[in-house]
Structure 1
Amino acid sequence: MRCYPSKEPLHPLLVPVLLLVSVLLVYYPALLSGLHSIDDPGIISRYAASPPLSQILLPGGSYYYRPLVELSFWLDQRLWGLEPGVMHLENVLLHLANALLVYRIASRCLTKTGSDVLWLPLCAALLFALHPLNVEAVAWIAGRTDPILALFALSGCLFLLRWLEEARWRDALFAVFFFTLAALTKETAVALLPVSMLLVLMWPAGPGSPSRSTRVRIVVGTLLAAVLFALSLLAFKQELMALRRFLTADAFTPLQAAIQLATALGFYVRKAFFPFPLNFAITEVSPWHALVALAGGVALALALKRRYFPALFFACAALLIAPALLLAVKNISWTPYAERYLYLPTAFISLGVGSMLPSPCQKGRLWIVPPLVVLLLFLGVASRQRAALWQDKIGFFQDAIVKSPRFGSLYNEIGVLLLQDNSIDAAARAFASAERLNRRPAMDSLIRFNIMSTILAKGDYIGARNYFTVLFPAKEKAPVAFLELLQKADGLRLASLSAAERAGLSRDMMESFALLYRQTKDPFWLYREGQLARELKLYPQALELFRKAYQEAPADASYRLATQKQISGLEGMK
């Protein structure tokens, strides 16, 4: 094996090419995985409507204030029409850029560890690039938030470390700039504040480093600025819906919260070093993970006390995990635990592991190479298999159900896919399981809508109507989606009824159309109501409905010409 001393650096393109090849080999399947049924369709729908840029950049336009993430989707619509393959490629390239940043930061750490081998930073970068926990954030279009956050956070840390070594204020300004971009990407960037302060206080001093008094003043000034900023956010929290939801969410008692925090921390620590089984929908974790957190906390504290350099990166990773711990306690997200929350922390864990590795150029330490190569190959294969699973939508949710069998929302998602695949009986069983296991009131209506859709897909039109009447004894209380299903079921029944039955059902359908118009203000429902009124020989009422529909219909409405003909025909009957 050849060793590369720092004065003879690798070819400048070798590391980027190695990382590019590694990332593409692992994530190539993700480019062909299309849209995921959770969140991706909502993104496409929102940005296909071409919202104004002011709505993207100003607060209050969506649930979260993440203008830079939203700007990326807005640009996707403008540049390539929200093509899923291109959007997946963006995620993969973002991940590659983050791996390169990990390499740059790790290279800067060489002087601190006393190593003179440039392959150690490459190992750290590959560990991050191939880590299976990162697949969720990269392979999922909606997971883009975390790679963009990491791009700005790692860039800010790189410039901060440059400032800590040479005290050039230009680097400090760049660090602040990138940290600000991170804050505009995702609210969890608040964890970068304690991370940056920890680095400022504990990064080893060098000949050109800022003095300790300067570092302390920087930390105090940053804290004061952060407090003022937090107060200003609280003053305008009516514009921050996510923050308001967090503040009003049910909380545990202090003891329960402490146990839950320790459990979540231990779980994420274990996941970072042993990520299996990989699971998209993690709802429950063993309370024994609290012991992992306790043991890890003691070990980290001792390592920091002894100024063990790699421990600094592990401490940064722990601070970056903190927002995910609060989500686990408050339980306000889709799942209380998620692998994508560890995307940025794994970068710092990779840096810590890279700083710990012994140099193979030192006598007797060549043995480290084979196990590292085997480990990286194993991680790469596991990540590629996971990325490939995102192509198989039904298989993806079947995998999640095996690992989280009591999570009702998963059964609803797979039921939708089975229904689209015309596997109606399997979809019906999935939706029945979803209704039985669901613990989220917000999902009740959606699951019941899907159950009614399945009954309709079976051709049981009377069954669909009966299910509707059980849910909504008063038709006026039914949401639009259910009314649309009801009128569809009734419309398909009409042809098989006797004249008397047909007349009675037509009047009932006219009532449904009237309700749909009142709720949606869509003149199409006036047109449909007018058609039935004409069939029932209610000509004056039909004429009035057609006239109103014609007046309110958009100029390009497909039914406008037919409405005009109906009006002419009815007026000719006078």
Structure 2
Amino acid sequence: MSGRNLRMPVIAALCLVTFGAYFTLKDCGFVNYDDYKYVIDNYNIQGGLTLDGVLWALKTSYFSYWHPLTWISHMADISLYGLNPHGHHLSSLLIHVGAVTAVFLFLNYATGRLWQSALVAALFALHPINVESVAWVSERKNVLCALFWFITAAAYVYYARGPAFSRYVIVLLCYLFALMSKPMAVTLPVMMLILDYWPLARVRGNGKMNGLLVLEKLPFFVLSALSSALTIYGQAKNEAVASLTESSLWFRLSSAALSYMTYLGKAFWPTALCVFYPYKEISSPWPVVLSAAALVVITGAAVWIRKTQPYVLAGWLWFLVTLVPVLQFVQTSAAPVADRYAYIPFAGIFIIVSWGIFDFFKNNRTIIPVFAAALLLPLALLTYRQTGYWRDTGTLFKHAIDVTENNFLAYNLYGTHLLSTGETDGAIEQFTRALRILPDYPALNFNMWSALIIKGKKAEAAPYFEKSLPYWAVEGESSVFKLGLSYLRQKNYDTAVEFFLKVLVINQQNKLIYKYIGMALMGLHRYEDALAYIDKGLEASADNWELYFQKGLVLKEMGRREDAVLNFKEAQRLAPHSQNPGPNIETMLKSVQTQ
């Protein structure tokens, strides 16, 4: 069979092994690390794929990014699956499979090498470092960006083989789609210049020709600059950018050198992978010096052998360049390294490995399939296992605790998971461990305060409440209300009252909270107190039908039937038809009137 006839069987095999490696994704749910903000509690996408939703996606920088295609993909999932996590995971996996296919077709088209391209695509499909991008619903932006990244690369090869304005426009549109998925694509114009060197061989000794190649990329660099500016603005607006006084230039450069070598280590020895890697204290300059020296030596070696193995220099530059946006030179993250950041950059390493294997065994090609299988099988098994850690929040962060040290985020989120499942003592233990690392972190102090309040240890909780005040100002109201509602549903009325009263402290304009305070006090049979709070709510919001309805329920329990009827009738008069509360009110009216 010719190489062209083998493309479809190769693509089918790549899809099959990818689905097999990610088979445990079917058991995975959402996690409490960004998934709630991106999907579950994001009311902007809850209506599914609508015109209003698309317009919001095009305008918003919610969550510090402008990536409208990502939001639109989440809206489409809501339309297809609702909040069933299995559907959302399936979409991410299908996009990953699409990216794997695009990697193969791009390299095969650019180089004419079928099996080298297939091996690169297989490494991209099966390397366990990519599990985070595929299995984390919030990282839809990463797989979507990669899909359009490799489609853009393929379109660029198509243009370079026969330059024409229509082909140029196609490349520009594909690049725009990549940027609209995630700003990680800002380095793609530089990558086009690297592709001009290898495999397209458009770079010549003629300086004028090379200048034209740079000029040709100018519109792409403009789009890249605009995307970078939007991202930095969004991060700064959300106070996510650290100043040089908080994080020195030396620290950032040192961390970058160490991060490069950490990524290289994970490329060839992908163990102890997890969702979050905290910064480590740089207590000695020697690891930094050795890392920087290693980068210089590897780069020098790649330049030295460029005439005989140009793919080494191209692949190495691919790796170096595409990691630049996530090396925290503009520090926006508490993580110096993240598995998701390697999703596109590692393709450069895979090119070096794949073409290198075929060069090394060029005199004995029969051994290559055996060698490739021996390389891919362990990766597939590691990916299968790594995917299982994304089953739920508890599994994910328990694993992170097991494979890292001083992981304050893992302690915190594992603790919140334990708190949500009623394991309050275990949660307190995790929050204590995290607070040893970051004693003044507001969110941690808030979580510790919550846990101690649940245990009834109000005196012990008080200091944590004071330290958590900045968190209350940003996210406290929503978090506290959800905790109160959770305990109301569990009929833990005392604790529910504590949380609802804290909501009132945070936001005195929240008139509806009086209803929930009344419900919790009703559960405690404190009817007079319940009435007092509901009346306070009605003083500030006299047209709130829910407060009248709740007052009617309290009066009914107190045996004051006539007063209850009056309040139910007022609720019925004020109730908006769109919320359709009428039948419940009518039922209560009939119930009271027939007593």
TM-score (norm 1): 0.80
Which residue, 452, 455, 460 being the options, matches 2:449?
Answer: 452
Partner of 2:458: 464
Q: How does 1:556-567 map to 2 (within 5 A)?
A: 559=550, 561-562=552-553
Task: Tell whether the 8 Å contact from 2:480 to 2:499 is kept in structure 1 after alignment.
Answer: no
Give the alignment of 1:389-538 within 5 angstroms.
389-391=389-391, 393-438=393-438, 444-458=441-455, 461=456, 463-464=457-458, 467-468=461-462, 471-472=465-466, 480=477, 515=505, 518-522=508-512, 524-525=514-515, 528=518
Amino acid at match of 1:464: K
- CA offset digits 1:64-109 (Å, max 9, x no partner): 1111111111222223213210110111111111111111122124
Amino acid at match of 1:102: V
| SS of equivalent residue, structure 1 residue 358 | helix
Indicate conservation of the 8 Å contact 2:25/2:387, yes or no.
Answer: yes
1:39-86 per-position Cα deviation (integer Å, ceiling 9, x unaligned): 112221104643733221114444211111111112222232132101
Distance verdict in 2 for CA 1:162–1:369, change over 3 Å: same
AA matched with 2:317: A
Aligned to 1:503: none
1:311 is displaced (CA, Å) by: 2.6
Question: Which structure would you say has the larger RCO, counting Cα contacts within 8 Å and 6 or more residues apart?
Answer: 1
- One-letter code of the match for 2:102? L
Q: Which amino acid aligns with 2:169?
A: L
1:18-45 CA-to-partner distances (Å, cap 9, x unmatched) read 1121011110111221112211122211
Aligned pair partner of 2:292 in 262, 281, 290: 290
The 1:309–1:464 alpha-carbon spacing in structure 2 relative to 1, beyond 3 Å, is same
1:513 CA displacement: 7.9
Q: Which amino acid aligns with 1:553?
A: N
The reply on whether 1:553 has 2:548 as its aligned counterpart is no
Q: In structure 2, do the counterparts of structure 1 residues 535 and 559 end up closer, same or farther at CA, with 3 Å as the change threshold?
A: closer
Instruction: Give the Cα separation in 1 of the matches to 2:15 and 2:513.
Output: 54
* Stretch moving more, 230-239 or 337-346: 230-239
Aligned partners of 1:310 and 1:352 also within 8 Å: yes
Amino acid at match of 1:317: F
Question: What aligned pairs does 1:133-282 form with structure 2 within 5 A after superposition?
Answer: 133-201=129-197, 203-205=199-201, 213=208, 216-223=211-218, 226=221, 230=225, 241=236, 245-246=240-241, 248=243, 250=245, 253-282=248-277
Contact 2:358 2:368 in 1 (8 A): yes
CA distance in 2, matches of 1:131, 1:474: 40
Q: In structure 2, what is the Cα distance between the partners aligned to 1:58 and 1:526? A: 35
Cα distance in 2 for residues equivalent to 1:223 and 1:46:
37
RMSD of Structure 2 on Structure 1 (CA): 4.3
For 1:10 and 1:172, locate their aligned partners in 2 and report how far apart those are by CA, in whole Å: 28
Q: Greater CA deviation, 126-135 or 427-436?
A: 427-436
For the 8 Å contact 1:265–1:290, the answer to whether it is kept is no
**How far did residue 365 of structure 1 move?**
3.1
Please identify, of 50-59 and 124-133, the stretch whose mean Cα deviation from structure 2 is larger: 50-59
Query: Are the counterparts in 1 of residues 66 and 231 from structure 2 also a CA contact under 8 Å?
Result: no
Aligned CA distance change for structure 1 residues 153 and 560 (closer, same or farther; 3 Å):
farther
- CA displacement, residues 480-531 of structure 1 (integer Å, 9 cap, x when unaligned): 4569979989x96979xxxxxxxxxx9x999868646615232535973997
How far 1:142 moved relative to its partner? 1.1
Q: Compare 550-559 and 56-65 and name the one that shifted more.
A: 550-559
The one-letter amino acid paired with 1:139 is A
8 Å contact kept, 2:64–2:238: no
Q: How far apart in 2 are the matches of 1:238 and 1:544?
A: 45
1-side partners of 2:273 and 2:183: how far apart? 25
Q: Do the aligned partners of residues 362 and 85 (structure 1) sit closer, same or farther apart at CA in structure 2, a change above 3 Å counting?
A: same
Seq. identity, %:
20
Native 8 Å contact 2:299 2:316 kept in 1: no
In structure 1, distance between residues paired with 2:88 and 2:269: 29
Are 2:297 and 1:301 equivalent residues in the alignment?
no
List alignment gaps of at least 5 residues for structure 2: 281-286, 567-595
* Number of residue-to-residue matches in the alignment: 539
- The answer to whether the 8 Å contact 2:134/2:143 transfers is yes
User: What is residue 25 of structure 1 aligned with on the other side?
Assistant: 20
Q: What is the rounded CA distance, in whole Å, between the counterparts of 1:523 and 1:200 in structure 2?
A: 62
* Counterpart contact for 2:323–2:345, Cα < 8 Å: yes
8 Å CA contact 2:263–2:342 kept in 1: the answer is: yes
